[in-house]
Structure 1
Amino acid sequence: MGVRKRERAEQIKEANRHIAFAKLNNCPTSPRKMRIVADLVRGKKVELALNILKFNSKEASRKLEKLLLSAINNWQQKNSEENLEEAGLFVKEIRVDGGTMLKRLRPAPQGRAHRIRKRSNHVTIVLGAINNNTQSNQ
């Protein structure tokens, strides 16, 4: 490996040191319902986002809360020497994409059939740490 390539790899590794992510694939909730809850926590600090998700009555908030806790745990494993409270973690990015769709038929009047689409989604949460050169939109 050349010197420039090694230096660039170290720069990328240092830049990715302050972020952590978690993914949830094929969650059996429609993306539209999940995006409503995801918009509540986008850009918020982690403690505030956990409180919002904990006290929200929607079913999608339970799944996002579990995913956010997983992302926090991933960050702690990556940065074992840093303290969680001092790092100032926030939800840098949360993305809800459509997943696979189960297609079913439901009987309709006069011998017809209606198509039922059971949707699923993929959710990705990226956490960022506030340091001296980056500030959150809080």
Structure 2
Amino acid sequence: MGKAKSPRRVADNEALAVGTTIRGSAQKLNLVAELIRGKKAEEALNILAFSKKAMARDASKVLASAIANAENNHDLDVDALVVAEASVGKSITMKRFHTRGRGKSTRILKPFSKLRIVVREVEEA
């Protein structure tokens, strides 16, 4: 008598990975996510490896995790994987302050973002 197993959040031919606290704004991370949406997984890793964007390193870690989940947990073919989804959202925001002149201070916001990547196995025609 245990808790019932929860259903999968993605289809049988898909695998999921989520990066929950990626340092940087969601707007900047979305620029990186746009580079890999709809691309083959191997091509997307190459795009991220040679991108000049600083957030591309974190995005490539999440993509590599999604590929590893597909291979090890769901027995999907790595060569047939495509980035089906790459969605970005806001996460926590660290609040800091910066002392200014005349006894005043200003607020510094350090945002974090979430990245959700879904890879799908497609049959090559």
Q: Tell me whether the two structures share a fold, i.e. TM-score over 0.5.
A: yes
The structural deviation recorded for 1:34 is 1.1
Match of 2:77 in 1: 83
Correspondent of 2:95 among 81, 95, 103: 103
- Output the CA distance in 2 between the equivalents of 1:27 and 1:50: 18
- Output the CA distance in 2 between the equivalents of 1:55 and 1:70: 19
Correspondent of 1:16 among 11, 17, 24: 11
Secondary structure in structure 2 of the residue aligned to 1:47 = helix
Correspondent of 1:43 among 18, 38, 45: 38
Segments of 5+ residues of structure 2 without an aligned counterpart are 1-6
Match of 1:65 in 2: 60
The structural deviation recorded for 1:35 is 1.2
Match of 1:93 in 2: 85
The structural deviation recorded for 1:53 is 0.3
The structural deviation recorded for 1:84 is 2.3
- Note if contact 2:18-2:114 (Cα within 8 Å) is conserved in structure 1: yes
Work out the number of aligned pairs and report it. 118
TM-score by length of 2: 0.84
- Aligned partner letter, 1:19: E
Q: Percent identity?
A: 32
Q: Deviations over 1:98-120 (max 9, x none)?
A: 11111111112232211100100
Q: Which runs of 4+ in 1 moved over 3 A?
A: none
The structure carrying a bigger strand percent of its residues is 2
Correspondent of 1:126 among 94, 118, 125: 118
Quick check: 64-73 or 25-34, which moved more? 25-34
Match of 1:8 in 2: none
- Note if contact 1:99-1:120 (Cα within 8 Å) is conserved in structure 2: yes
- Aligned partner letter, 1:83: D
The alignment's C-alpha RMSD in Å is 2.1
**Higher Rg of the two aligned structures:** 1
